[in-house]
Structure 1
Amino acid sequence: MATAPDPAFPHARRPEAIRPVFPASYPLHVILSAYPIACFTGAFLTDWAYLASYEMQWANFSAWLIVAGLVMGVLTGTAGLVDFFSSRRMRRPRAGWWHGLGNGLVMLLALLNAFVHSRDAYTSVMPWGILLSLLTAVLVLVTSWLGTRQTMQALEIRP
């Protein structure tokens, strides 16, 4: 049964013309990637807060965020590999390869950062802890931007 358009909203779409923002086959790893991004950038911010206050709990927060980012990064990476190898359209652009290699480097830096943050509070942050946190945060943001852009192009999603 078709409904008549509402005269108050002459430009409104009919209900059957509305499409979902994301298709049902939207890659799971893109959704999961929000967790490592938040954890690794949060670890840099908590390292910075530690340097501003010398409150030991900030260093603990950094260590916890790095471990949480590593756990979620492994889950995200596993889902990303499944998406990458199951879709030819995902492998075709060169950005997909850079995204995968960059995220592998992010995980290695984060693992090294977790070992550095396992030391005493001041030595866990200065000088290598905050530098590794900064490198990890910047690299995860860059690789996530590359991967999301490539995924949107592969799925032909226009903003």
Structure 2
Amino acid sequence: MTQLIEQRYSLTVRPMPAVFLAGMFPLFLGAALADAAYAKTFQIQWSNFASWLLVGGLLFGAIALMFAVASLFRAHQRARGIVPYALVLLAAWIAGFFSALIHSRDAWASMPTGMILSVVAVLLAFIAVWLGFRTPHIKGPI
């Protein structure tokens, strides 16, 4: 009986992709906070910090996205809501990528567009984390 219950409940994201998904959010958050610090102090190093944090977030996000795309090809994963999770994760990665492109310019030229894109990437990453780690759903009849 216990085995039957364990098979009916499952998480959207597995443990290995969860590490990369959970690692992406604080890196994007750090980039947004570094952008806010640059906007307040105009110390160029904050813009450099934001650039490096974005690169780390993009790396972690790309690995989590590869796991999500691989899960799209498994039928029981698609039934569990992996499609919205993968789309939001892709949107977060794209926002982070464009933010990184903006941050590659001069520090003064990256504001305010770079900070706006960093905040959008953080919000989308938060939604992706929430979709990935939300309460397990019942799969249905076995």
TM-score between the two structures when normalised by the length of structure 1: 0.72
Q: 1:34 to 1:141 in 2, by over 3 A?
A: same
1:147 correspondence with 2:135: no
Trace 1:60-71 onto structure 2 (pairs within 5 A): 60-71=48-59
Greater gyration radius: 1
Which structure features the higher share of helix residues?
2
**Is 2:104 aligned against 1:104?**
no
1:153, CA displacement in angstroms?
2.9
C-alpha RMSD of the superposition: 2.2
Give the paired residue count: 128
Instruction: Provide the C-alpha distance between the structure 2 equivalents of 1:79 and 1:28, rounded to a whole number of angstroms.
Output: 9
Partner residue, 2:109? 123
Could you tell me the TM-score, scaled by structure 2's length?
0.80
| 1:50-61 superposed matches below 5 A | 50-61=38-49
* DSSP-derived class of the 2:105 partner: coil
If asked which structure has higher relative contact order (CA below 8 Å, sep 6+), I would say 2
Aligned-partner Cα distance in 2 for 1:128–1:55: 17
| Equivalent-residue separation in structure 1 for 2:78 and 2:112 (angstroms) | 38
1:9 corresponds to: none
Unaligned 5+ runs, structure 1? 1-25
